[in-house]
Structures are given as C-alpha cells and as structure tokens.
Amino acid sequence: MERGFRPVTERPHTATSGNGTWAVRERATGSGTMLGMKARVLVVDDDPALAEMLTIVLRGEGFDTAVVADGARALPALRELKPDLVLLDLMLPGMNGIDVCKAIRSESGVPIVMLTAKSDTVDVVLGLESGADDYVVKPFKPKELVARIRARLRRTEAEPSEVLQIGDLTIDVPGHEVLREGRPIQLTPLEFDLLVALARKPRQVFTREVLLEQVWGYRHAADTRLVNVHVQRLRSKVERDPEHPEVVLTVRGVGYKAGPP
C-alpha cells in the first residue's frame, strides 16, 4: 500500500507503515480544508486511547490525520508525510516532546501545538522555548483543540501586495519573507505573524492580551507566557543584539511595540 495521506472515498481506512498508523477519510468539503485541500495533522502521542480519540475528532472535522506513538518516529514521519501541523504530546517514551520539538524546528517551520498536563508548568515554557506555537492542557474539550488547530492553519488565498519596514528589516507580507540587507531571515509562520502584527502599527503599543487575540486567535483570557516566549524567540532571530532590541521593543507594564527606539 502506498504510504502517505491517500483519500478513501467511502469509509475511514487505516494502515500501518514504517512510520506509524495513518488514517484518512475523503470529504468533498470540510472545516479542515486549506486552499481547497484538506489540512494534514501529524499526531505524536503514545496513549492509544487518546490517539484514537484525536483521530476520530480530527477526521470528523475534515482533517487528514497520521499517528506515531513515539518521539523517534516523529521526524521521519514529518519528512515523509509533510503535515500542515504537528500535535505533539510532551510526555513521550524515549525521545521526549521537548527534544522532538527541537528536532522539528531544526528543519521545519510547521506549526506545532503541544498537549500537556496541568502540572507541566515548567515543561510548557520549555516546549514554547523549543519552538512550539501553542499548547492545550489535558483534559481538554475537543472543540477547544480544533479551534487551536484552525487558528494555526489560517491561510489567505490571495493577499494584496504589502511591504513593511522596521529599521533595516524589510517584510514582504504576501511572500512571507523577512530580509536584512537582502539576506532572508528564517521565521516560523507564527513568528512571522507576530512580527507583521507589530510592524503594521509601529507606534502602537500592543498588550499581551491583544497580541494573543490577533496572532493566536484567542477570544478569552489565555496564558501571556505564549507572547513572552515568542517575543524572545523572535528577537533571537531578528535583532542584531537580542539583549538590546531595536526591532521588537518592550514597553514596561504594558506590552510590546515595533522599533526602532
């Protein structure tokens, strides 16, 4: 059987490949579509019951899904299946979720949503610092998880031409490209969205809550650490000296704004 995401016309179908179990259901349309194609979600979780529940929920929402049960298989599956998003449990046997996240980020900007227990406060920060875009606490409501996934998969089919400038950075918005002196700076999609949100209104100070709404898609109170950690990650890539930022500035007691000072 051919590996990968292959649509089945009448009923769900599962098969085991060298990288794990994949499952796909053909739907003419669905809320999991991206640009006319179904989004692909790679689930990395060693809990069979949870993995099965996630597969059922995501397939029911129109997503293609693939499941691998340990961290060591995550990277080979990522390379083979080229998912649009990775749903990653932090507690994995062998290669843990933090190491998996770092390995994925070393070669891909694919959105990563972590699954974590309420007690994993330190691990949440480590996961975000390792490259995760968002996290969902277990136990979670399926609708909440789907909303988080959809927020990270938002895409615009035809963006108008827009070029922004912050200091010596040039941002090509529809091209999803950031340049300094003609050289590209590699950002994840979420880091890019965060930079664009600030750059579009360079004199405006954004609270963390506003950024959570505009960039992450939250419509309710959420963990502001998401913003803090991603600002740190963004600065490590776009600042000449992250200790003395000139692109993304902190306004003490309020939030962040685009530079220069």
The confidence score (pLDDT) of residue 29 equals: 36
Give me the pLDDT at residue 121, please.
78
pLDDT value at residue 118 = 66
Q: Give the SS3 label for residue 91.
A: coil
Whether the model clears a pTM of 0.75, i.e. scores above it, the answer is: no
Q: Which token pair is 218? A: 């939250």
pLDDT reported for residue 31: 52
pLDDT of res. 33? 54
Low-confidence ranges of the chain (pLDDT < 70): 1-36, 118-120, 155-159, 221, 261
Helix (H) or strand (E) holding 231: helix 225-238
Q: Structure tokens of 52?
A: 């099965």
Q: Is 213 helix (H, G, I), strand (E, B) or coil?
A: helix
Q: What is the rounded distance in angstroms from the CA atom of residue 159 to the CA atom of residue 113?
A: 25
Instruction: Supply 133's token pair.
Output: 């875009």
- Cis check: omega of the bond before 139, within 30 degrees of 0: yes
**CA distances from residue 35 to 70, 158, 220 in whole angstroms, order as listed:** 31, 10, 28
Distance between CA atoms of 83 and 71, rounded to whole angstroms? 16
Residue with tokens 């993995």: 51
- The pLDDT of residue 16 is 33
Domains and CATH numbers, the chain: 13-152 (3.40.50.2300), 163-258 (1.10.10.10)
What is the DSSP pairing of strand 64-68 with strand 40-44?
Answer: parallel
**Residue 136: both structure tokens together:** 């969902």
Distance between alpha carbon 126 and the CA centroid of its chain, in Å? 15
Q: Estimate the crossing angle of helix 189-199 against helix 225-238, to 10 degrees.
A: 90
